[in-house]
């Protein structure tokens, strides 16, 4: 039984897996509540014996050391044994979230050309070929990042909540912002998928991340939407290292 910990930019996701089956999923808004929540889950699931943590957010050394005392913890870095060949030119700079997503694709879509799109604070594009070789991808601003940048970097544009525009033609400043941000991202994603499919006609496309459900309904391209894809990848990495 495995405990999966995903420390993101805004919150923490915790999940309990028995083999490939998710038994519990919890989102923690405050990073400083991580340790207490791990204690709680460990008490609720006495059979938990291993854990993995992936962190792109801030986690203190003190918290990390405490977690290591609670459970046998694997800290994901580029040095961890991975279930794919990493051909990224700067492997030390490859985000652990992207490593986890690629690992999930290897588990579910072995020996296929796969493009993984993670729509969150950033939109990341990651491609792995049918030889199990990770090639790289792209990083783009996410939905909330685009809304916030329009507000932060201009004098008069308001900060809006995310909303699906009704028309490509914005007839007010608010409508124009929604159109520019949302349709801009939808067209970007569809365009990237189209470019990849010109080269790899048998491409499998995965859409995940916090904004996946919001965006998936309006995308023209055929995709698999999976909000737990990163967690599944972390679980696969932990199992992969536990079987050594």
Query: Residue 160, Cα to own-chain centre: how many angstroms?
Result: 24
From CA 127, how far away is CA 204, in angstroms rounded? 10
Whether residue 116 has pLDDT greater than 90: yes
pLDDT at 19: 87
Fold of 85-233: Nucleotidyltransferase; domain 5 (3.30.420)
pLDDT at 13: 93
The reply, when asked if residue 10 is annotated as ligand binding, is yes
From CA 28, how far away is CA 13, in angstroms rounded? 6
Whether residue 30 has pLDDT greater than 90: no
Shared fold status for 2-75 and 85-233: yes
Q: Is the separation of the CB atoms in 139 and 230 below 8 Å?
A: no
pLDDT at 184: 97
In this prediction, what percent of the chain has a pLDDT beyond 90? 83
pLDDT at 58: 77
Residues 6+ apart with CB under 8 A from 111: 130, 131, 132
Longest CA pairwise span in the chain (Å): 60
Average pLDDT over residues 74-94: 95
Whether residue 239 has pLDDT greater than 80: yes
Q: HEC string of the chain?
A: CEEEEEECCCCEEEEEEECCEEEEEEEECCHHHHHHHHHHHHHHCCCCCEEEEEECCCCCHHHHHHHHHHCEEEECCCCCCCCCEECCCCHHHCCHHHHHHHHHHHHHCCCCCEEEEEECCEEEEEEECCCCEEEEEEEEECHHHHHHHHHHCCCCCCCCCCCCCCCCCCCCHHHHHHHHHHHHHHHHHHHHHHHHHHHCCCCEEEEECCCHHHHHCCCCCCCEECCCHHHHHHHHHHHHHHCC
Specify the pTM. 0.91
The reply, when asked if residue 97 is annotated as ligand binding, is yes
Nearest CA to 97 out of 59, 137, 129, 54 is that of 54
pLDDT at 227: 87
Boundaries of every domain in the chain: 2-75, 85-233
Query: Residue 21 burial by CB count (10 A; 0-12/13-18/19+): exposed, middle or buried?
Result: exposed
The reply, when asked if residue 226 is annotated as ligand binding, is no
Q: Is the separation of the CB atoms in 38 and 70 below 8 Å?
A: yes
Which CATH superfamily includes the segment(s) 2-75? ATPase, nucleotide binding domain (3.30.420.40)
Q: Is the separation of the CB atoms in 97 and 237 below 8 Å?
A: no
The reply, when asked if residue 191 is annotated as ligand binding, is no
pLDDT at 107: 94
What is the pLDDT confidence band of residue 15, given thresholds at 50, 70 and 90? very high
The reply, when asked if residue 98 is annotated as ligand binding, is yes
Nearest CA to 129 out of 116, 115, 113 is that of 113
Residues with a known catalytic role: 97
pLDDT digits (tens, 9 = 90+) for 131-172: 999 999 999 999 999 999 999 999 999 999 999 999 999 999
Average pLDDT over residues 224-241: 94
From CA 225, how far away is CA 218, in angstroms rounded? 12
Mean pLDDT of the chain: 94
pLDDT at 244: 58
The reply, when asked if residue 96 is annotated as ligand binding, is yes
């Amino acid at each position: 039984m495995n405990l999966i910990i995903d420390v993101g930019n805004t919150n923490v996701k915790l999940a309990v897996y028995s083999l490939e089956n998710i038994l519990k999923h919890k989102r923690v808004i405050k990073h400083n509540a991580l340790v207490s929540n791990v204690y709680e889950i460990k008490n609720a699931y006495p059979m938990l014996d291993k854990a993995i943590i992936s962190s792109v957010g801030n986690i203190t050394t003190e918290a990390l050391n405490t977690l290591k005392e609670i459970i046998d913890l694997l800290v994901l870095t580029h040095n961890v044994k991975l279930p794919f060949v990493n051909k990224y030119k700067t492997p030390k700079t490859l985000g652990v979230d992207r490593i986890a997503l690629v690992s999930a694709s290897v588990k579910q879509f072995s020996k296929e050309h796969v493009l993984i799109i993670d729509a969150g604070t950033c939109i990341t594009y990651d491609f792995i070929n049918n030889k199990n070789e990770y090639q790289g991808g792209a990083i783009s601003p996410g939905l909330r990042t685009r809304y916030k940048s329009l507000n932060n970097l201009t004098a008069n544009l308001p900060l809006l909540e995310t909303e699906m525009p009704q028309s490509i033609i914005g007839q007010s400043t608010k409508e124009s912002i929604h159109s520019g941000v949302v349709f801009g991202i939808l067209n970007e994603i569809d365009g990237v998928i189209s470019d990849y499919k010109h080269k790899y006609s048998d491409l499998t496309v995965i859409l995940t991340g916090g904004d996946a459900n919001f965006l998936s309904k309006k995308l023209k391209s055929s995709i698999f939407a999976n909000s737990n894809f990163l967690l599944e990848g972390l679980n696969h990495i932990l199992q992969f290292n536990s079987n050594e």
